[in-house]
Amino acid sequence: MHERRIPEWLRHAPAPSVRGFAMLAAAEAVARGILISVFPLQMYKALQDAAVVSQVYFMIGIVSLVTGLLVPFLARFVPRRWVYVCGCLCFVAGSLLAIDGSASSTIVGLALTSIATVTTFVCFNAYVLDYIAKIELGRCETSRMFYSAAGWTLGPALGVILLHWWEPAPFLVAAAAAFTMMMMFLAMRMGNGKLITKSRAAPTNPLGYLPRFFAQPRLVAGWLFAVIRSCGWWVYVVYLPIFAIKSGLGDQLGGIALSISNAALFVTPFMLRWMQRRSIRYAVRTGFLVAGLLFGLAALMSGLPWIAVLCLMLGSFFLILLDVSAGLPFLLAVKPSERTEMSAVYSSFRDVSGILTPGVAWLVLLVAPVAAIFGAGATALLGAWALSSRLPVRLGKTGKRQIPVPETPVEPTPRLTSQRA
């Protein structure tokens, strides 16, 4: 009598692969990319005041920051897989709630999707560190960006097109993509991650490393580069669509411009090669200088809206160059023994920029038009260019041999709902 054996794939889930994580990222890119250009339009349509929109984004930024700090604490009491699932469900709920179009529903919907973004981001990174070997981290990050590129390139333009065709459409697509992401996650059967041994020591508090962080100027400078780069994306994603509407260019221009800008993701390998032939310092300085000059020119040319928009789009290309290069000064300055804790400190740049940008924009709009926000962004970018003059001339190189780019998976770009990947 033959014994029936249970298939191996049912008894033991296969280890999650680089491709599996990349597909999760692709589903997230569709969910967030489709709404990235829609939420600013819906917010402005519901509130009819750019200053009030800035206030709302400021408050949601604080909520996102608090959520990011609480997720690791919550994961100590709730299994990580359910934290991730709850994040996906928050995205679905936020997308469906925003269909209503009222001010309150739009604000709550944006808040829920922001909470979902930071929650799934924290869990995603933890799973990557659990299941992807250290030597594969670089390939995992490259695959994630490649698989996500289509969603971030097509999503913004498609979002505004669907919004005009049928208002609930982009929100339904985003909800479906978030639900698909949740089902893909459950199919990967990652559980709560790997648990080698149960430590009796209390987990390290990243805040305890703040004195060491501030005592190292190169780490502080690297963090400031990330914050200011992220602020540039906030200005581009949120305030370009509002500027286009107020200038009579229509409410579809912002999404189309963002899609065109995101298409530059496909040339990031060439940017990396260009940077490797020169130096990290040269790439960082070039990115901040040219982006700052173009944002400043957009502010000066606001009387000619098409010229201003073109300047901002060209500036976003150099923001992508900064996505490739501006995180490296921090990674190269971190001591190996402090990499985990300092990366936790570093990751706060997303939430800090999400609070700082709308807060400054709120103050600017009290005394000046929307175009002045581009000038404020230019000032910050040029300030970062001046600060980058202190970077070592041959940063990332030793003699004639280039130091390999660190393969720590630090998020290269802001990941809030209002920003692209």
pLDDT in tens, the chain (421 residues): 455 555 544 444 556 677 778 888 888 889 988 998 899 889 988 888 888 888 898 899 888 888 877 877 787 788 888 889 999 999 999 999 999 888 899 999 999 998 998 888 878 877 776 776 655 655 666 677 778 878 888 888 888 899 888 999 999 999 999 999 999 998 887 766 554 334 444 445 556 667 877 888 888 888 899 899 999 999 998 899 999 988 888 888 888 888 888 888 777 778 878 887 888 888 899 999 999 999 999 999 989 999 999 999 999 999 988 887 777 787 777 776 665 566 667 777 877 888 899 999 999 998 999 999 999 999 999 999 999 888 877 665 544 444 444 433 333 343 333 344 3
Q: What is the pLDDT of residues 152-202, one digit of tens each?
A: 888 888 888 998 889 999 999 999 999 999 999 988 877 665 543 344 444
Residues shown for the chain: 421
CA 196/CA 338 separation, integer angstroms: 21
Pick the CATH number of 208-403+413-421 from 3.90.1750.10, 1.10.3720.10, 1.20.1250.20, 1.10.760.10: 1.20.1250.20
Is the separation of the CB atoms in 61 and 418 below 8 Å? Answer: no
Residue ranges of the domains in the chain? 15-195, 208-403+413-421
Write out pLDDT tens, residues 44-57.
888 888 888 888 98
For 128, 318, 345, 346, the CA distances from 206, given in Å and listed in that order, are 20, 32, 6, 10
pLDDT of residue 406: 42
Superfamily holding 15-195? MFS general substrate transporter like domains (1.20.1250.20)
Report the 10 Å Cβ neighbour count for 200: 5
Task: Name, in order, each residue with C-beta under 8 angstroms of 333's C-beta and a sequence gap of 6 or more.
Answer: 216, 218, 219, 222
> In this structure, what are the phi and psi dihedrals at residue 398, rounded to the nearest 5 degrees?
-130, 110
> Across the strands, what pairs with 402?
397
Cα dist. 350→78, 233, 281, 337, 393 in Å? 25, 11, 22, 24, 27
Domain 208-403+413-421 in the same topology as domain 15-195: yes
Tell me the angle at which helices 371-387 and 305-325 cross, rounded to the nearest 10 degrees: 30
The token pair that represents 60 in the structure block = 């949601």
CA–CA gap between residue 57 and residue 356 (Å, rounded): 10
Q: Which residues pair with 230 in a beta bridge?
A: none
Task: Report the 10 Å Cβ neighbour count for 221.
Answer: 18
